[in-house]
Amino acid sequence: MRQINVGMIGGGTVGSGVFHAWRRNGALMASRLGLRLRFRSIAVKAYDEPRPYAIDRSLLTTDWRSVVEDSKVEMVIELVGGTTVARSMVLAALRLGKPVVTANKALLSAHGEELFAAAGRHGANLYYEASVAGGIPIIKSLREGFVGNRITHLYGIVNGTCNYILSRMKLEGAEFGEVLAEAQRLGYAEAEPSLDIDGCDSQHKTGILASLAHGFWVNPKHIHVEGIRAITRLDMQYAGQLGYTIKLLGIVKQAPPPRAARPAARIQVSVYPALIPNTHVLANVHGVFNAVFARGDVVGDTLFYGRGAGKDATASAVLSDMADAALDLAHQSQRRVPPFVCHAPGGAVLPIGEAVSPYYLRLDVIDRPGVLAQIAAILGRTRIGISSVIQPEGHEGRSVPLILMTHDATDDAMRRALARIGRLAAVKASPVMVRVENFN
Ligand code: HSE
């Protein structure tokens, strides 16, 4: 049986998870693939660093270059994270024509175009299933399974930490800060959680999905990102009364047909918390789970659900990429499925100001006659219609929450209206605005 020699860089949580999963199922993979994957060497930071699964000492080295440059290593797995040394590692392997498997979404987000170009120049390939939504095979689905579809809509719950926090706020009525502190104590959330809760991790992942779905490389700087810090227990509670829940979504959707002067496709690519109907399947994705909902013009609606992070889910995705890379090597078809093809070069990300959605607004107002009329007049002048209002019973002259749901409006129009509303004497705090996603 043909054997493919693998070199891996990174022997921490994910690396040792991959090694362990290969130990467990390597023989099964060999019988399925008709070829055997064999680890030849593994570069680690330190021989004795703590790792959840043991790795044979004889395979370890602290010199990553010796792994990449070993002429017997045919495929390189990069699992170190970060964007500096990881970039050098991946480029070094690609320059030698070796296929690379990576789980590194930050690296792809920052340097994807450069790495894909290097892979093309050197006849190699780059496999990155583990970079988005862990064990969910969404990259393979976009690269291969949906190749005959235009992906008109894609919505992802792609950050487990945020989904865990929002789920507990919803299910237990907990406050954001309490849940975050407990998640940190239990090790679910990082000590420095801002990459997750401010939406940056979702930004990397959503950019990769958007690029694959629409055929032009989406620069992360063009993605509008809002995290979940501003969501309160009160908002979750009022959303519930209105039949919604709040989820942090990565959103990729075609904007309405462009005008003749602007013939190229424009795609909304955003990350923000959104009210979604309780009846939608994504509303029932709880805890650390991830899900991606994709709508193709041929296939219709599809849903992917699973663990988005953790050593085992990530290992599952890395093993799948190792299998593809090994088959491509064995059949001398390294470019059979290129990592990314720019087939819509004029495509652009829709400015967030032009994005259209309904809105949930929570205002802190003085309960007195005429206040609702003033607010409605501002919305009316901005051509924003109100679809429903909740005002819990208050006391005249005291401050009360006022909840408004609106019809569709552009982000620009809503921001203009909110600036005026915020200046009213009866409005006591900055208005809270959360977009609504009805998946139409
Ligand atoms: N920090 C990420 C999450 C996992 O919470 O989903 C790594 O992508």
Cα 399 to ligand 1 centroid, rounded to whole Å: 39
State whether 210 and 165 are in the same domain: yes
Domain at 380, CATH number:
3.30.70.260
The CATH code of the domain that includes 123 is: 3.40.50.720
- Are 390 and 378 in a shared domain? yes
Mean pLDDT of the chain: 95
- DSSP for 171-240, please give it: HH---HHHHHHHHHHTTSS-SSTHHHHTSHHHHHHHHHHHHHHHSSPPPGGGSEE--STT--HHHHHHHH
Phi, psi of 280 (to 5 degrees): -80, 145
- Structural domain contains residue 259: yes
Average the pLDDT over 408-432 and give the result: 97
Together in a domain, 318 and 393: no
Structural domains of the chain, count: 3
Residues 431, 366 share a domain: yes
CB 78 within 8 A of CB 86: yes
Given the structure tokens 């064999």, which residue do they identify? 38
**Any domain includes 341:** no
Judged by average pLDDT, the poorest of 215-224, 246-255, 390-399 is: 390-399
Token pair, residue 89, equals 């590692």
Residues flanking ligand 1, CB < 6 Å: 159-161, 196, 201, 308-309
How far away, in angstroms, is 190 Cα from ligand 1 center?
Answer: 9
Position 189 scores a pLDDT of: 79
Q: What is the pLDDT of residue 258?
A: 60
High-pLDDT (> 70) share of the chain, %: 98
Do residues 83 and 96 share a domain?
A: yes
Same domain, 50 and 170: no
Q: Do 203 and 88 belong to one domain? A: no
In a domain, 335, yes or no: no
pTM, rounded to two decimals = 0.95
Does 339 fall in a domain? no
What residue's CA is closest to ligand 1, atom 7? 309
68 and 134 assigned to the same domain:
yes
Q: For 330-380, what is each residue's pLDDT tens digit?
A: 999 999 999 999 999 889 999 999 999 999 999 999 999 999 999 999 999
Residue 262 is predicted with a pLDDT of: 59
Please indicate, yes or no, if residue 188 is contained in any of the structural domains: yes
Residue bearing the CA closest to ligand 1, atom 1: 196
Please report whether residue 340 resides in a domain. Answer: no
Instruction: Average the pLDDT over each of 190-194, 321-325, 386-390, 415-419 and give the range with the smallest value.
Output: 190-194
How far apart are the C-alpha atoms of 190 and 199, rounded to whole Å? 14
8 A C-beta contact, residue 64 and residue 47: no
pLDDT at 299 over 80: yes
Higher pLDDT, 134 or 318: 318
Residue 263 pLDDT grade (very low, low, confident, very high; cuts 50, 70, 90): low
What pLDDT sits at residue 73?
98
Reply yes or no on whether 205 is catalytic: yes
pLDDT tens digits, 117-132: 999 999 999 999 999 9
Domain limits at 397? 356-436
Half-sphere exposure of 184 (CA within 13 A, CB side): 12
Q: Is the pLDDT of residue 256 over 90?
A: no
Using the predicted structure, report yes or no on whether residue 417 has a pLDDT greater than 90.
yes
The percent of residues in the chain predicted with pLDDT above 90, rounded, is: 91
Report which of 120, 122, 82, 129 is spatially closest to residue 101, judged by C-alpha positions: 129
> Do 132 and 147 share a domain, yes or no?
no
In a domain, 412, yes or no: yes
Say yes or no to pLDDT of 261 above 70: no
Same domain, 123 and 147: no
Q: Residue 393 has what pLDDT?
A: 80
Q: 336 in a domain, yes or no?
A: no
Could you tell me the CA-to-CA distances from 303 to 85, 291, 398, 424 in Å, in that order? 35, 7, 46, 44
pLDDT of residue 259: 64
Whether residue 299 sits in one domain with residue 322: no
| Domain's final residue, options 295, 330, 365 | 330
**Are 316 and 267 contained in the same domain?**
no
Please identify which of the residues 205, 247, 253, 311 carries the catalytic annotation: 205
| 190-214 mean pLDDT | 94
Q: What is the model's pLDDT at position 394?
A: 72
